[in-house]
Amino acid sequence: MLREIRIHGRGGQGAVTAAQLLAHAAHTEGKYVQAFPYFGAERRGAPVKAFARISDAPILLHSQVYNPDYVVVLDQQLYKIIDVTEGLKMDGIIVMNSTKKPDELGLKGWRVATVDATGIALELNLRVAGLPVVNTSILGAFSRATDEVQLESVLKAIRGNWRGSAGEKNALAAELAYERLIKGW
């Protein structure tokens, strides 16, 4: 079964890296995958999108994701300025980086899960250029919210991307997000 994921973030938050890591994690489980960005005139801080597909069969589709099964939001302010639910399938899931509980976001009618990925990054002093790194923790939350990839596969992908202490710190962020995820259903 084909699953499509759209990741919303801001330039510099690692949305593209999150899509690539998610695809790598699913690939280690023997699934077929795609991961790709949507490029426009983005710059650091501007809203950006990245996409991933996970399937049990070869993926013949080569377009951006218009009707995702899952939406991942790296910046909790984005859902106020863009429609992150656009095209989301009725039974889809939104995984949001937020300090709020799912029912506090006002996204009625949607299955929403939240995790304070920013808080986890700050707790672990996980920063790049002074900004908190939330993409690796949100992947741990995605694993728990959707069951599309196992946490161990996510951790393996993270450790494969960053060696040593950077890999361990990012993996710990994913584990903490997995544990701290709040499902709104």
Query: What ranges do the domains of the chain cover?
Result: 3-183
- Right CATH number for 3-183 from 3.40.640.10, 3.40.50.2300, 3.10.310.10, 3.40.920.10? 3.40.920.10
Q: What percent of the chain has pLDDT over 90?
A: 86
Q: How many residues does the chain have?
A: 185
Q: Which residues share a beta bridge with 4?
A: 53
Give 3-19 pLDDT, tens digit per residue: 999 999 988 888 999 99
Over 60: is that where the pLDDT of 41 sits?
no
H runs (alpha helix) in 14-162: 15-28, 78-81, 117-123, 135-146, 151-161
For residue 67, list its beta bridge partners: none
SS3 call for 73:
strand
- Reported as a single tens digit per residue, the pLDDT across 45-89 is 778 899 999 999 999 999 999 999 999 999 989 999 999 999 999
Q: The sheet that has 32-38: what strands, in order across it?
A: 32-38, 47-55, 3-10, 70-73, 93-97, 111-115, 182-183
CA–CA dist 49, 101 (Å, integer): 24
Q: How confident is the model at residue 131 (pLDDT cuts 50, 70, 90)?
A: confident
